[in-house]
Amino acid sequence: MQVVNANNPVTTLEVSTDGGSTWQSTTRQSYNYFEKTSGGGFGTDSVALRVSCANGVKVTVQNANFNGGSVTQASGNC
């Protein structure tokens, strides 16, 4: 997954498969994509995402689709 057009540097991207009850970490790769830290995929096509930025703002997106080539737009920016 990749976060684009953030107003501030993105520090973390977390993924939830249970509507935000629990969060899984991702690892930022050198090519600026975030990937699941361990194991395979998330087992679902739609997840919640929590993006944290260097200014302390967190943006949460529900029902993000991360099939290849899909784009999900957040309702806010950091």
Q: Is residue 74 part of a domain?
A: no
CA nearest to 41, candidates 1, 75, 9:
1
pLDDT recorded at residue 59: 96
> Which pLDDT band holds residue 21 (cuts at 50, 70, 90)?
very high
CA angle (70, 1, 18) in 5-degree steps: 90
Number of domains forming the structure of the chain: 1
Res. 7: pLDDT tops 80: yes
Percent of the chain with pLDDT over 70: 100
Q: Is residue 39 part of a domain?
A: yes
Q: Is residue 35 part of a domain?
A: yes
Q: Is residue 3 part of a domain?
A: no
Q: Is residue 17 part of a domain?
A: yes
Q: Is residue 61 part of a domain?
A: yes
Domain that holds residue 55: 10-65
Res. 67: pLDDT tops 80: no
